[in-house]
Structures are given as C-alpha cells and as structure tokens.
Structure 1
C-alpha cells in the first residue's frame, strides 16, 4: 500500500485544509480516509474498523464495515478478541467469566470476595478479570497493584496497553456504528456498547458471561448488591435455574429499581458527533449538554466535551 506525505504542513494549501476539515470532519484526532482507485471516498474513516477487526477489515471500505457488522453479535469474543488469549480459552471451556472495572479498591475487594463466595457455594466454575477504566490511568494502576499485592484471586490486566486497547476498541465500535448510521434502538449490539461505556463513566461496571454468551452487562453497584444478596437470590430461583439465571433475574429486579442515568461524552476533536442518541435504558432521545472538563486527567483531550445525559426517572410523555 503506497503512502504519501508532505515535507511540512505549510506546503498544504488552505483550500485543501478547509476541505479536509469541513468535508472529512478532521479536527485533532487521526483519521484514515480510504479512496478507491479513481479517487472516490470508499470510507470516511477506517481507523475504527482497523481497531475492531484488524486485517480482516481489508480493503477497509464502508461496504466491508457493514458486512462485518452484519456477521457480529453481542458476545464476549467481540469485547476481548486479540487482547487476552486466556479468556478465549475460558470461553472454549464454557466457564462463567466476570469482566469488571472501576477505580474504587474497596468496591473491588468486596466484589471479588462476594463473587468467590457465591461461586464456591454454588460450585460454579468462575473466572474474573479486572479491565480497569477508559481513563484515570494512575488510579487503575494502583488498583492492579492492590489486586496483586493482596492476592485477591482475580486475573488483572497489568499491562496498560491491554486496558487501553480494550477501551479503544469499544469506543471504536460506537463510532463505527455512528459512522454507518446504525444507531437505532433495535440494534442490540449498539445498545449494549452504549450501556457499557455509560457505566464506565458512572464509576464501575460488570459483564457476566457463560462461555461466549453475555448474560449481564451491568452497573457495578447493582452487581455487587446482587452477589451480596446471594441467599435471597438463590432462594427465589432455586437450584433448578442455576447461577446464570439466578444472577440475571435478581440483577434485573434491582436494576429496575435503581434505574441509573446514562451518560456519554464526545470530544469535539472526534469530528463526527451524532445529532441524537437514544438512552439504552429507556430508549428515549437523550438531552444534549455542554460540559467543560479539566484536561489534567489521563487520556482526556484538551478540549471541551459534548455530554449527552438523561435521567430516565424524570422523563415524561
């Protein structure tokens, strides 16, 4: 694949700069515009599909991107493919797997303790992986160090590059869907991606899977409460339903009461920002607010954010 570059940005004419910024929506983040052999745009930005599918996305056209999404489902491999081979082995063995994240060491201690206690009581083959957060790198590293130091019996991605890649891929999934205008409320994969990104912004999250199948994609506080109420959870659903159904049903009950708000943040440097988004919880259109955020945090752009927030409890017809 041939690559061309200019010796210095000043050599690019103002008309070309204007075209790239206005037509290709380039601001501060790198983009990869794919042109066909006669110079027509085949994909306005192929970076997202490269992060998600790698070389399988070749020749990186919008048509290829649509085709790849048609073959995808909401499954654990979509989240961790190319990052951790150990998780792929657990999937093949049909184990229960908790992916979880956050930056509160106390919550993580309690969550791991309760999960292990329930797994032992129900004789459930359970593996756990700490995946951190999309930002706050220093806090995430401290939590990883705590997990190792206190021997909390949970797998942790100690390499920051693995955590970075996980969140980069997840955010790329969101922007890929937006770019293809696949943002309707009937798109299950899109709704689940929005939930996970929203829970991460709220502080913490959990994903419970049995093998490849994702059972619960949930909020950290509700997930911990579900495990802490193990006796009630198991009594309601008995041994006939098993851990998977018991956890899912009890989590659903607690979640329907808590009903947390959803929140998304789009940096203006991303270029293409959706005109509207639906809340993955209540499926209503979300309000759009402007937020100014300090740039001292890890992985935060030195730019202001557009934040979409709606508390479902305040919605009226």
Structure 2
C-alpha cells in the first residue's frame, strides 16, 4: 500500500486471528462499502488495514494459508500481505494494548448526568487501576443540545467526542442500517447476539435517559441506563472486592443485576419504517430485558431544544 493512499485519512487497524466470525465480517463489510458510496463525506475519510495475528509457535501450513487467503479475498479493504510480516515485538505490543484498555461509549442529552457520570467513572477507574477511554455519541437525531454538550465536554475535558456532529448521526445510522439488514434476513433477538446488542443500543437511544456501555475486547461488556450505571459506580466500594477477584466488568454486571427490578419500560424508535412494514417485522422486535414481543405504536413527535 502506498503511503500516499493513506495520507490525511484516519487508518483503522482490524486486528484479529484467522477465526473472524462470518457474521462480524459481513457487518464490517457492509459498513465499509456504504462509506465508499460518498467518499468525499467526512465520515468516509478513513481506510482499514487488516492485521492478521497468527501464533508463531504453530506451523503455517497449507490449511492456514488457504484460510488466510480466503479471508483476505472477502475483505474489500487493505491487508498485510502475509502474517509472517508481523514482527514478534509488534504482536506483543498489540496483545498488550488490546487487553489492557477499557472502552466506554455513552450517550444522552442531560449535561448534569454527563458531568456526574464521567467524573465518577474516572475516579472509579483510578481506584480500580484500570485504563479507561470514554467517547460521547449523543443521540441519533443530534440537535443543538447535543452540539452544546460536545462543546462542554471538550472544554471541561470530560471525555472524548467525535470531531463533527455529523459523525454522531453517522454512528446511529450505521446501527439502524445493521438492524434493517439483519431483520430483512429474518434474524431476531432470540437467535442472534449481535441483533440483541443492536436493539439494546437503539433502545437506549429511544429513552429519555442517558446510558453507557463499557467493554474490554470482544468478550467483556457491561451496559445500563443512566441512573443504574451511575449508582453502580457510586457504590463501587460494595463490589470492589468482587472486581479484584473476578474482574471489573463481570463484577459490574453482577451489581447491575442486584439493582434490577421486575418493572421496566423500554422504547425503541426505528426511523424509516412504514406502517405497511410494521406487520412484517413486529415478530423480530422483542424486549431485550424480558424477551417478550414489543407493542407497536405510531408516534408523532415535536421536540425543540
């Protein structure tokens, strides 16, 4: 790859072994291909490079070679020419980097909650001795309040924000697009973990509360609405010992469950769905908390900042 092709663009490194789940690869491919439709837009100014990590203690035999070449052929983006090109020192650095940091996405419009949440999260991270990075992703229909929040977050150094408000819109559009695509193929929350997480995020966005998701790698994740997440962080001393024993995120999830009540009210807004389409998709839309089908309602809304 010529360096000129990557100049002035953000470069995303897709780091994985040769066991990338096909479902995840399809989603990444969809997002990438959609960004190429209008390459001059700010949210399209990036390139992806696949960094394949293979255990050097195992022999890179013909089976692994075919697996690598098959994955490489499926990817519309750039990739390292061969896994052997990744030096051991680079592999060690990547493994250390990807296992160490906790990433938190959060959203909503309540600036008071944002201040409390980010300040408390930083304090807990320091006490727990974990590296935490936070990113504000607002709401799917970002208006002036979200823009003001982004400015305040940057001025007060509360967390990271996206560089332009259009990128917030783009983030949510991509989630909605992923939902539409999977729903059209008959995928439901009951049989697909990715669909469940997409609906959870869209449900968070449809509520009037803030929310947050924290993860480390692909296997550890905790998510909750504003008050539950903030209360859990404020009560860190109650689960600090558990965090030291089983890990920060498993202990946080346990505390979320201890605060959960039977009552819940989840809303899910799906823009672009016509009245005629509701009948065909309603069976795929179930509550992420209890698994029951959600009641379909037609809503008219007028909101001003």
**TM-score, structure 2 normalization:** 0.64
Cα displacement (A) at 1:93: 5.5
Structure 2 partner of 1:115: 121
Structure 2 partner of 1:275: 282
1:50-199 matches, cutoff 5 A: 52-54=31-33, 92=98, 94-152=100-158, 154-199=159-204
Q: Deviations over 1:38-61 (max 9, x none)?
A: xxxxxxxxxx99752417999xxx
Over the residues paired in the alignment, what is the CA RMSD in angstroms? 3.0
Find out whether 1:257 has 2:261 as its counterpart. yes
Cα displacement (A) at 1:268: 5.8
Moved more, 270-279 or 94-103: 270-279
In 2: Cα distance, 1:148 partner to 1:269 partner: 35
- Aligned residue-pair number: 218
Structure 2 unaligned runs (5+)?
1-26, 38-93
SS of 2:148's partner is helix
Structure 1 partner of 2:75: none
Cα displacement (A) at 1:212: 3.2
In 2: Cα distance, 1:110 partner to 1:181 partner: 41
Q: Deviations over 1:143-175 (max 9, x none)?
A: 1111112222x1111311221111010011111
Superposition misfits of 4+ residues, deviation over 6 angstroms: 55-58, 88-91
Q: Residue 182 and residue 90 in structure 1: after superposition, are their counterparts in 2 closer, same or farther (change >3 A)?
A: farther
Find out whether 1:289 has 2:297 as its counterpart. yes
Which is bigger in relative contact order (C-alpha 8 A, separation at least 6)? Answer: 1
